[in-house]
Amino acid sequence: MNEIIQKVKNLSIGFKSKKGEEILILRNITTNIKKGETVGIVGESGSGKSTLALAMMGYVKHGLYTIGGECEFNSSNLLKMKNRDLEKIRGRKIAMIPQNAGQALTPNLKIGYQIDEALQLHSDLKEEKREQKISELLNKVRLPSPETIALRYPHELSGGQQQRVAVAMALAGTPDLLLLDEPTTGLDVTTQAHVLELLNFIAKDTGTSMVYVSHDLGAIAQVSDRIIVMYSGEIVLEGPSRDILKKPIHPYTYGLLKSIPKLSLAGLPQSMPGSQPQPGTMHRGCSFFDRCNFSEEKCKNNSPQLEYLEELKTSVRCFNYKSLMNDSQVNQTVNKIKTSLQDKEILNLSEVSISYAKQKLLDQVLNRISDDNPTVKDININIKKGETIALVGESGSGKSTILKSIAGLLRTKGGIIKFDQDRNLSSDLKERDPNDLRIIQLIFQNPDESLNPNHTVEEIIAQPLKLYFGLKGEELKKNIIDLLQKVRLGEFYMSRYPRQLSGGEKQRVAVARAFAAKPDIILCDEVTSALDVSVQAAVLNLLQQLKEDFGTTYIFVSHDLAVVRAISDRVAVLYQGRLCEVGPSKDVYQFPSHPYTEVLLGAVLEPDPDIKPKLVAEDIVEEKPPQKGCSFQGRCSRILGDICKNEVPPWQITNSGNSIRCHIPLKELQKDQIN
């Protein structure tokens, strides 16, 4: 256990700016990876965590170069090694599991070939033996029918399956050290929990050391023995996993843990102000100084050194860690959300069904949509004014599809969407009048793609003001400044382009643009998933504040159940385009609940090593909803029999007003779940 497998010594990596300045991405990193241990490297985007992981394989990205220090493996420095020698280490001694397996598997090569390639390079097996080994590996990562999977191309697999293939490929060379770069980001919650469980199993089974890089403290908490926290290219805290998560003695980690929404706590977490400094903008002092609640005068001009504390086996980079040591139990305080719920109904979806099926010519002529098994079916939801309702479910559950139909981007196949009791919004975007368009606004997941890169912030926010209200000149400008202030951005942001803003700032601009139309309803499509944790909390708080000020209604789509718990009044759980459960969020998160809700809740990863995910159902992917019966029959672990396969389950209503659509009687649902 104490044998060191890789030593990183005083490593600095950076690039030359256009002015010729040396800009550091990694600053003087020193750490060791021991045999058999799993080290989690956590940090926000831009903290240098991926660069560090790649350097551990002797790989430095195009445009970056090693400024100093070394990565020592088997007493040789990988960063000075020739490519030919590195080829014998990469994949054989040190293997990588990439973030996005869908992108990291070569599209024109079959799965079997890509694994075979690793075997050819890193083992002496003969051809028949290799074929057998490929099946073994695919079996080990729990892929169904390995022989047929091997003959498929990467795009023919689901995201979870692709990730498993990447794991199998990494295991092909029986490496001593596995580097995992955000291996579960972008997967569904249930799939993520399964992949993590698999990785844990492999770590125990093979005794491989692992370096697990992630921004997600929840995932890190489940796998790592030791955690390294990075900020702005430096290690700010390093120590045993449990201590770091339970008693963080660095202000950044402390703040980070406080800003993560938890399943057990309703209400919005506290946000950390500011954002991580851009590489090259730091000159003197502690890099966390601007955002720190514990900072003193000396932090401004002196950078603290990483200090090793023998009694805690922890290294910390802070002058003031002692003040956190005494009181650092993360007692999370949340800002309780105020419901501005009114009795007035603002949006009513009744019997809505939506189909993606391609229309036959005859149907096109007759202007009707025929599909007996549409993607989304039987959606009945009443939304009250001032309410925040969340739609949750895995990918393919139809949550974004419903948003698109409400926005008018997708025609409904049947049913009625009614606004304010009298206006019919079942129509297409083209058929809606400008006012109907104004009352519903969208905020998208990725502000990089939803903001026009060639428009300044001023132009972006001006568009809805000009379009819906015909504002001009001074009045227009006044309104823009007003909106910017509402989203806590200063006037000077007006002349900036989206690329000059950070992720959080971009999302604020997108929020400002949505509010510029003075809408009644805002559709939020995964609005925080592309943001860092500390920024996420700030955006959620902002959305809540604006809602209280304007009385807006939010329809909030998210795969993150903890975020949904934090912000929503009501939750609707969807599976395969059918509703499973609808109810006030405090009740949905308690039992009894629909078996699918149970699966989702069980898979949530909390940043606490003591709370393990519960894996109730297999993470198989169903391509189409079943023709008849309950939508969840294919994966339900509590299936009753033929009744579930043949009959659509009835709605059952609990005492608290929570509706569950299941054949199992409420009492029994409750009984089993509590155990």
Partner 1 sequence: MPFLIIKRILLGLITLFIVSLITFVGTEILPGDACTTYLERQAFGEQLEACYRRLGLNVPAYERYVSWAVNAIQGDFGYSLSGEMPIKEVLGPRIKNSLVLASAAIFIGIPIALILGIVTALWRDKLPDVAISTVTIFAMTIPEFISATLLILIIAIWLEWLPGIVIVPTDVSFLELLPNIILPVIAIAMIMTAHMARMVRSSVIQVMASEYVQMAILKGVPYWKMVFKHVLPNALLPAINVVALTIAWLLGGVVVTEVVFNYPGLGRLVIESISNRDLPTVQALAIILASIYVSINLLADLITLMLNPRLKTLQIRK
**In the complex, which residues of this chain contact partner 1 (CB under 8 A)?**
54, 57, 59, 62, 83-84, 86-92, 95-96, 98-100, 103-109, 117-118, 121-122, 153, 155-156, 166, 169, 173
216 closest CA partner among 173, 257, 264, 160: 257
Tell me how far apart the alpha carbons of residues 211 and 94 are, in angstroms, rounded to a whole number: 10
Q: Distance of CA 46 to CAs 17, 286, 503, 582, Å?
A: 16, 17, 11, 39
Q: Residue 301's CB: how many other CB atoms inside 10 A? A: 11
Complex with partner 1: residue 83 or 331, whichever CB lies closer: 83
- Dist CA 401 CA 306 (whole Å): 49
Show the tokens assigned to 650.
Answer: 């009835």
Q: Token digits for 70?
A: 């070394």
Residue 577 C-beta: closest distance to partner 1, Å:
20
- The smaller minimum CB distance to partner 1, of residues 156 and 475, is found at 156
Asked if residue 279 lies in contact with residue 46, where contact means CB atoms within 8 angstroms, the answer is: yes
Cβ closest to partner 1, residue 165 vs residue 603: 165
Alpha-carbon span 222 to 241, nearest angstrom: 10
Pick between residue 178 and residue 349 the one whose CB is nearest to partner 1. Answer: 178
Nearer to partner 1, 121 or 615 (CB): 121
Give the β-pairing of 65-73 and 76-77. Answer: antiparallel
DSSP 345: E
In the complex with partner 1, the residue whose CB is nearer, 343 or 623, is: 623
Q: Closest CB to partner 1 among 100 and 185? A: 100
Which tokens is 369 given?
Answer: 């949509």
CB of 63 to partner 1, least distance (A): 10
Tokens 């044998």 locate to 3
In whole angstroms, the minimum distance from the beta carbon of 55 to partner 1 comes to: 12
Q: Which of 112, 118, 177, 120 is nearest to 147 (CA)?
A: 112
From residue 237, alpha-carbon distances to 40, 244, 298, 403, 609 in Å are 12, 8, 20, 42, 18
Q: How far is the CB of 621 from partner 1 (least distance, A)?
A: 15
CB count within 10 Å of CB 110 equals 17
Residues 600 and 292: their CA atoms lie apart, in Å, by 35
The CA distance from 67 to 279, in Å, is 15
Q: How far is the CB of 237 from partner 1 (least distance, A)?
A: 28
Q: How far is the CB of 232 from partner 1 (least distance, A)?
A: 24
Give the nearer residue to partner 1 in terms of CB position, either 82 or 430: 82
Cα separation of 648 and 629, whole Å?
A: 4
**Of the two residues 140 and 262, which places its CB atom closer to partner 1 in the complex?**
140
Query: H helices within 551-665, ranges in order?
Result: 561-567, 585-588, 595-603, 642-646
Query: Hey, what amino acid is at 516?
Result: A
Q: How far is the CB of 103 from partner 1 (least distance, A)?
A: 4
Residue with smaller CB distance to partner 1, 118 or 561:
118
CB 212 within 8 A of CB 220: yes
For partner 1, give the closer residue by CB, 7 or 92. 92
CB of 138 to partner 1, least distance (A): 17
User: Residue 103: which residues within 8 A CB-CB, separation 6 or more?
Assistant: none
Minimum distance of partner 1 from residue 168's CB (angstroms) = 12
Write down the least CB distance from residue 202 to partner 1, Å.
18
> What are the Cα distances from residue 131, in Å, to 153, 441, 626?
17, 54, 36
Tell me the closest approach of the beta carbon of residue 500 to partner 1, in angstroms: 24
- The β-bridge relationship of strands 209-214 and 38-42 is parallel
CB atoms within 10 A of CB 660: 27
Tokens of 522: 């805002």
Beta carbon nearer to partner 1, 153 or 550: 153
User: Residue 175 Cβ, how far from partner 1 at the closest point, in Å?
Assistant: 10
